[in-house]
Chain A
Amino acid sequence: MTPDRLRAALRGVPDPRWLDAALRRVRTEPAAITRLFPAAARHCGRGPLPDLPGWTVDEAARALLLAALPADHAATTAEALYRYGDAAEKRAVLRALPLLPIGAACVPLLHDAIRTNDTRLVAAALGPYARHLEQAAWRQAVLKCVFTGVPLAVVDDLDGRADAELAAMLAALAAERHAAGRAMPADATDLLDRLGAGSDLTTAREA
């Protein structure tokens, strides 16, 4: 994702002049984002963005506002907006992180989101910025997705990063579910198969 693609997808918002003015203002007066960020959904809308599947209008508009900040303000402002954001604002910050010149500075926000039980925040924490997340926390977050029914399609670079330890954790969950007479989500059993642990799972099912 790039700011240009977000900008293009947002061409159809109901009040494009508000967004243009807000972006200009944030570039020259970074502190103004404190009030513009929460107001964005009221001016731009909250529905899905037809040109960008998986994004809503408010997420994209807020991500653009963050991307418009001067580079030296990006990390601290993202942190503050997340800290005081409602659930939709927090989600937008998480989705904007890969667009910002912040290195790994905002990894603590991912930890916070993964701790919540709001599945929308957990999902938003597992996008491309999660490449900065240490492997143990990443595995736990993937397992939490399976546990709470978040589709694994939200996890960026799932196959590149899934390892034997994650396979063992998923297989253990599958064994518990099997013992309880409950199903595993199909995307999780598919992942286990791809990780080569499928044969162990079959054994567990038949045992």
Chain B
Amino acid sequence: MRIFDPHIHMTSRTTDDYERMAAAGVRAVVEPAFWLGQPRTSAATFVDYFDSLIGWEPFRAGQFGVRHHATVALNPKEANDPRCHPVLDLLPRYLDKDGVVAVGEIGYDSMTPAEDAAFAAQLALAVGHDLPALVHTPHRDKARGVERSLAVVTESGIDPGRVLVDHLNEVTVKLVRDTGCWLGFSIYPDTKMTPGRMVELLKTYGTERMLVNSAADWGRSDPLLTRATGEALLLAGFTDDDVDRVLWRNPVEFYGQSGRLDLGDLDAPAATFAGNSILRGGE
């Protein structure tokens, strides 16, 4: 089973996770820029974060045979702090990078005017840089948040086929299914979505434009739930080809629209000398 996790915050994960993911079949990931638990108070700290997403983290992933790409944005939570607004001016530089395959996570947290402004401005950046967009949907007041997000997407003029609306569930999937946007589901140990519930959703709505991610981060989460979902799908009677479509081909097709997804020679040795740097690097 080859797995592309289209949304995982590897910055928060250990090297043990990389090893377990690689062993479970995870060969590529996209790490969206988001918040880090502790709110940031200046744009400069975002620069270091973005640098890590296009520098250190892909190198670290490469040591374990995992291909790492990123999406870059000012997230909706921190869009509410005026001290972070200069991040918007820094984004164009990062949106030119080879490893950046979308603008994201953008969208709503509390649906404030500041979030409106950042969301619209960053959809415009996606259009201007010819990149797809990853839209985070809020955890509170979710259905109205999804509706409002879709309205902003429509207003921006971006092609819906270049938009991934994430963290959907049984209620909100209905709002997005017929919009032409891609649909993301974050499989968590017991909250956003579970493997069993995901199986039912794929039975109901089919596999087209459906993406499954672990969204693993610094909270209670599990980077192997993509694999668990694949196994649950097979047990429920889905074919290997169905599973490959959801866990590999769909994310490749969505992020491939950036023209920057680099999955060539995935089996080549890691970018290092003698294959050992950080595998034992902290000594």
Give B residues with C-beta under 8 Å from A: 51, 54-56, 58-59, 93-94, 96-99, 259-260, 262, 271-278, 281, 283
- Are the CB atoms of A86 and B54 closer together than 8 Å? yes
- Are the CB atoms of B58 and A87 closer together than 8 Å? yes
- A14 contacts partner chain B, Cβ-Cβ < 8 Å: no
On chain B, the residues within 8 Å of A39 by CB distance are: 96
Which of A24-32, A63-71, A148-156 touches B?
A148-156
- Are the CB atoms of B97 and A120 closer together than 8 Å? no
Per a CB cutoff under 8 Å, which of A41, A90, A150 touches B98?
A41
The answer for the CA separation of A84 and B97 in the assembled complex, in Å, is 10
- Pick the most buried of B51, B273, B278, B283: most chain A CB atoms within 10 A of its CB: B273
The answer for the CA separation of A42 and B260 in the assembled complex, in Å, is 7
Task: Kindly identify, within residues 92 to 125 of chain A, every residue whose CB is under 8 Å from any CB belonging to chain B.
Answer: 116-120, 123
The answer for the CA separation of A59 and B59 in the assembled complex, in Å, is 17
On chain B, the residues within 8 Å of A140 by CB distance are: none
The answer for the CA separation of A41 and B277 in the assembled complex, in Å, is 25
Per a CB cutoff under 8 Å, which of B93, B259, B262, B272 touches A119?
B272
Known interface pairs A35-B96, A39-B96, A42-B260; A118-B276 also in contact (CB < 8 Å): no
- Are the CB atoms of A120 and B271 closer together than 8 Å? yes
Per a CB cutoff under 8 Å, which of B98, B277, B283 touches A88?
B98
Instruction: Please give the number of chain A residues whose Cβ is less than 8 angstroms from any Cβ of chain B in the complex.
Output: 24
The answer for the CA separation of A90 and B271 in the assembled complex, in Å, is 15
Nearest CB in chain B: distance from A66 CB, A:
16
Nearest CB in chain B: distance from A153 CB, A:
10
The answer for the CA separation of A118 and B281 in the assembled complex, in Å, is 10
Known interface pairs A120-B272, A149-B274; A42-B98 also in contact (CB < 8 Å): yes
For A150, the closest partner residue in chain B by CB is B273
- Are the CB atoms of A119 and B98 closer together than 8 Å? no
On chain B, the residues within 8 Å of A34 by CB distance are: 93
Nearest CB in chain B: distance from A112 CB, A:
11
Nearest CB in chain A: distance from B171 CB, A:
39
On chain A, the residues within 8 Å of B275 by CB distance are: 149
- Are the CB atoms of B98 and A148 closer together than 8 Å? no
Nearest CB in chain B: distance from A143 CB, A:
13
On chain A, the residues within 8 Å of B283 by CB distance are: 147
- A38 contacts partner chain B, Cβ-Cβ < 8 Å: yes
- Are the CB atoms of A117 and B98 closer together than 8 Å? no
Nearest CB in chain B: distance from A15 CB, A:
13
For A35, the closest partner residue in chain B by CB is B96
The answer for the CA separation of A14 and B59 in the assembled complex, in Å, is 26
The answer for the CA separation of A147 and B276 in the assembled complex, in Å, is 10
- Are the CB atoms of A148 and B97 closer together than 8 Å? no
- Are the CB atoms of B98 and A86 closer together than 8 Å? yes
Known interface pairs A34-B93, A35-B96, A86-B98; A117-B55 also in contact (CB < 8 Å): no
The answer for the CA separation of A34 and B283 in the assembled complex, in Å, is 37
On chain B, the residues within 8 Å of A148 by CB distance are: 273, 276-277, 281
Known interface pairs A38-B97, A38-B98, A86-B98; A117-B58 also in contact (CB < 8 Å): no
Nearest CB in chain A: distance from B273 CB, A:
5
- Pick the most buried of A38, A84, A86, A150: most chain B CB atoms within 10 A of its CB: A86
